[in-house]
A and B are shown apart, each in its own frame.
Chain A
């Protein structure tokens, strides 16, 4: 079965410091991996995706994520956090086997960036 895990419910970081939001996955075959962000009272917004190719993927708002096949991880990173980055972040994997178009979302990680 396809799944993703976000081991941290919450991440706290000071503005200007680097941030990492963790995600690990369990899939059959090669994964399609995604990060989405949700601001209060809004729908999810796409940040970035990994399909194939370079393990370091760059996305919106200065975010990037590194695909690590040996560790089955896809951690979200940003070199310098902003207060406006405070939001709920979701990792997701797309099923590429039986149910080709189904997405599985992690439980979400709340990022708090303090001034």
Chain B
């Protein structure tokens, strides 16, 4: 089991640029979650999917953020245009069918927007 895979691990970009974060959940898991972690706000749920369908996106901060899950093994979180306040660590997590009792987190992507 390779665990949840996220790429890139680090991303440095300039304000106004488009940023795409990628996630590969654990095979067989049908829930996928995107979180953002900052010192000020802690760990925030941005959006989650079940069977590739977005269920709750109420945590997405604004229209500049979008997430997709085109198939069971891949999801993206896109920020366009990026702003310095988007700098954070973004985590992807997945969990098994039957309810997300235990979430398995990826290593995170550290995003810095200059």
Contacts and interface: CB of A to CB of B under 8 A. Distances in A.
Interface of A: 32, 34, 36, 41-46, 49, 51, 90, 94, 99-108
A42 B9 CA distance: 11
Interface stretch (B11-19, B71-79, B80-88, B95-103): B95-103
B105 A44 contact: yes
Contacts of B104: 46
A43 B91 contact: yes
A45 B104 CA distance: 7
Nearest to B108: A43
Given A101-B48, A102-B45, A102-B48, A44 B101 contact: no
Nearest to B101: A49
Given A43-B4, A43-B106, A43-B108, A103 B91 contact: no
Interface in B24-76: 31, 33, 42-43, 45, 48, 50, 55-56
B107 A42 contact: yes
Nearest to A48: B102
